[in-house]
Structure 1
Amino acid sequence: MKPGRLGIGVIGAGRVGAVLGAALRAVGHSVVGVSAISEQSRDRAAALLPGVPLLEPAEIVERCELVVIAVPDDDLVPLVQGLADLKHWQTGQIVLHTSGRHGIAALAPAAARGAVCLAVHPVLAFTGMSLDLTRLTGAMVAVTAPAAFLPIAQALVVEMGAEPVALSEEEFPVVGGILARAREDIDRIVRQALRRLADQDLEEPARLAGPLVRAVLENALAAGPERPSTGFTGLTGPDGGRQ
């Protein structure tokens, strides 16, 4: 490896973990192992991290300088505690989780054994495919860590081509929750509209609705949080000419 490169292990080859592992591998870090339980996760690991061996979480912790934990929110705390109970965490080892629900408190058992703990939450809707690597470039990533370790989290994010946004331990889960709700609401509303369009026997409802959805989102983002909703202003058709 190049000087300053780390041996990385990824616990959880879900949509997020495999992509972040691939992004760090692309800048010269070595991915030593990845844990993947489901067949879908194993396929994803094979596609995004070819040649990387499948290992158990305990093996990853024992072998790696940087451990990326990208498991479901509910699994994070029990996993970290279980590995601590078995005395796997190591002094000076970097442990990074990607959950938006938890700050670094979720990694307290690892910190108690001397690990450097970071919370790093990319603000993206991941697909688990290679196109996420392109989307990661320039994306915003929420980070929190003890002050002495915050530069490490920020440097890793920058290496992945993204932009870090430092949050306090208290802000981190609040912001993560707001963004998760926004993602869920947008997904639900758009899918509902597509289903209704499909019910009209339209062959390509996504092609029809796509420009509108993208324009509405961009207009809302450009207007900012203080500007009140203007309803259908700017659209053609019924009510589209209201002032």
Structure 2
Amino acid sequence: MTLARDTKIGIIGLGRLGAASAEVFQRSGYELVAVSARSDVSRRRAEKCIPNIPILCPQEVAERADCIILTVPDDAISAVSDEIVAAGAIVAGDLVVHLSGRCGLDVLGSARMVSAIPLACHPAMTFAGTDEDANLLASSPFGITSLPEHKHYAEGFVQAIGGNPVWIPDEKRTMYHAAMVFGANNLISLVATSIQAMKAAGIDDAGRFLAPILRASLENAIVLGPKALTGPVRRGDVGTVVGHIKALREEMPGLITGYVDFARFTAEMALNEELNAPEILHKVLATLRHVNTSEQGD
């Protein structure tokens, strides 16, 4: 079952995800009746991505729509839901959908109280504010949560734009989102730091230089998991690890803590997965503990 073709779509919040959602639903043949965009940046985004669509207050958007999509920050979802429900803008049978990864159905409790249908449908994708965002959204897997009797609505919402719905129990959404942060947000931080360090080593076009090994590493990690681990920590090359820390201390001391923490995490993973002899990996861990002690002594 997909979302009924005559469903009227309204979007409250027009950040990167809201704008991508608006584009995708329009492209999929749904009527986008209005959006809410409070900041100047959001209004300019609306004018660029979805010209001729009314920009209204949240209450007016909800009054016009049968499916109200909330793409506001996580901490604002409950307040916005309460606001439009209190205004009488939500009626029984309306779909009220938030796209947060962390939040479940509790934040839509007020909508449920008026017999609306609360859904949590999070796209497992990152959006950089480029012209590709809508295409990325349309092909994303979605972590969906609903009441059991509403599961077909959540699946239909996602399938309407070409996404792939994957069920997430309500009580597991925070863990699901934490996993997403580990794999996506932290990955960007790590790659950006690697590029920064590579530039310090004298490679000007560091992003292009690193691209092949980064892509190969990511693909290996997805396919092989921990068995894809390579490098001096897994091999137990203590001298190399110590040399890295010395170089960082001389040129980029702010990276030492991160390097040591990730090296320890890698060594412990290699130990748990039996990727090298325990005595070798314990020697690496002892070296890393000594680094921490030395840093504290400084």
- Fold shared, TM-score > 0.5 on shorter chain: yes
Residue of structure 1 equivalent to 2:200: 199
Q: Tell me which amino acid in the other structure corresponds to 2:114.
A: R
Give the SS at the match of 1:217.
helix
User: For the pair shown, which has the larger CA radius of gyration, 1 or 2?
Assistant: 2
| SS of alignment partner, residue 63 of structure 2 | helix
2:80 corresponding residue in structure 1:
79
State the match for 2:160 in structure 1. 159
Using the TM superposition, name which of 133-142 and 91-100 deviates more: 133-142
Q: What amino acid does structure 1 have at the position aligned with 2:134?
A: L
SS at 1:148 equivalent = helix
Q: Which whole-Å CA distance do the structure 1 matches of 2:194 and 2:223 have between them?
A: 23
Structure 1 or 2: more helix by fraction: 2
Q: 2: CA distance between counterparts of 1:18 and 1:231?
A: 40
Q: 1:59 to 1:137 in 2, by over 3 A?
A: closer
Q: Which residue of 2 aligns with 1:178?
A: 179
The answer to whether 1:230 aligns with 2:229 is: yes
Are residue 145 (structure 1) and residue 154 (structure 2) matched?
Answer: no
AA partner of residue 164 (structure 1): P
The sequence identity of aligned pairs, in percent, is 28
Asked if the contact 1:19–1:129 (Cα under 8 Å) also holds between the matched residues in 2, the reply is no
Q: TM-score, normalised by structure 1?
A: 0.88
| Aligned partner of residue 185 in structure 2, secondary structure | helix
| TM-score (norm: length of structure 2) | 0.72
1:204-215 matches, within 5 Å, as: 204-215=205-216
RMSD: 2.1
Other structure's SS at 2:119 match: strand
User: What is the letter of the counterpart of residue 211 of structure 2?
Assistant: G
Assess if the C-alpha contact under 8 Å between 1:138 and 1:161 holds in 2. yes
What corresponds to 1:58 in structure 2? 59
Within 5 A, what are the aligned runs for 1:83-102? 83-102=84-103
Q: Deviations over 1:29-48 (max 9, x none)?
A: 11111111222212222222
Local SS of the residue matching 2:125:
coil
Moved over 6 A (4+): none
Instruction: Decide whether the 8 Å contact of 2:24 with 2:138 is kept in 1.
Output: no
CA offsets 1:214-234 (integer angstroms, 9 cap, x no match):
11111100013xx4453229x
The Cα shift of 1:208 comes to: 1.2
CA distance in 2, matches of 1:132, 1:217: 21
Alignment partners' CA distance in 2, 1:200 and 1:47: 41
- The residue type equivalent to 2:193 in the other structure is Q
2:260 aligned partner: none
Tell me if structure 2 keeps the 8 A contact 1:10–1:70. yes
The 3 A distance-change label for structure 1 pair 113 and 42 is same
* SS across alignment from 1:141: strand
Q: How many residues align?
A: 232
- Compare 172-181 and 112-121 and name the one that shifted more: 172-181
Give the whole-Å Cα distance in 2 for the aligned partners of 1:208 and 1:72: 36
In 2: Cα distance, 1:185 partner to 1:33 partner: 35
Deviation at 1:84, TM superposition (A): 2.5
2:93 match: secondary structure: coil
Return 5+ residue gaps in structure 2 as ranges.
Answer: 241-275, 277-298
- Corresponding residue number in structure 1 for 2:220: 219
- In 2, the alpha carbon distance for the partners of 1:37 and 1:194 equals 36
Q: State the partner residue of 1:114.
A: 115
State the match for 1:29 in structure 2: 30
Post-superposition offset of 1:78: 1.6
1:202, CA displacement in angstroms? 3.6
Where does structure 1 lack aligned partners over 5 or more consecutive residues? none
Q: Is the 8 A contact 2:220 2:228 kept in 1?
A: no
Measure the CA separation in 1 of the matches of 2:79 and 2:149. Answer: 26
- Provide the secondary structure at the position in 1 that maps to 2:16: coil
CA distance in 2, matches of 1:200, 1:38: 41
Deviations 1:87-142 (Å, cap 9, x if unpaired)?
A: 32211111100011111111010110111111000000112333022223432110
Q: Distance in 1 between matches of 2:138 and 2:60?
A: 31
Name the CA distance, whole Å, in 1 between partners of 2:118 and 2:214: 39
C-alpha separation in 2, matches of 1:82 and 1:14: 20
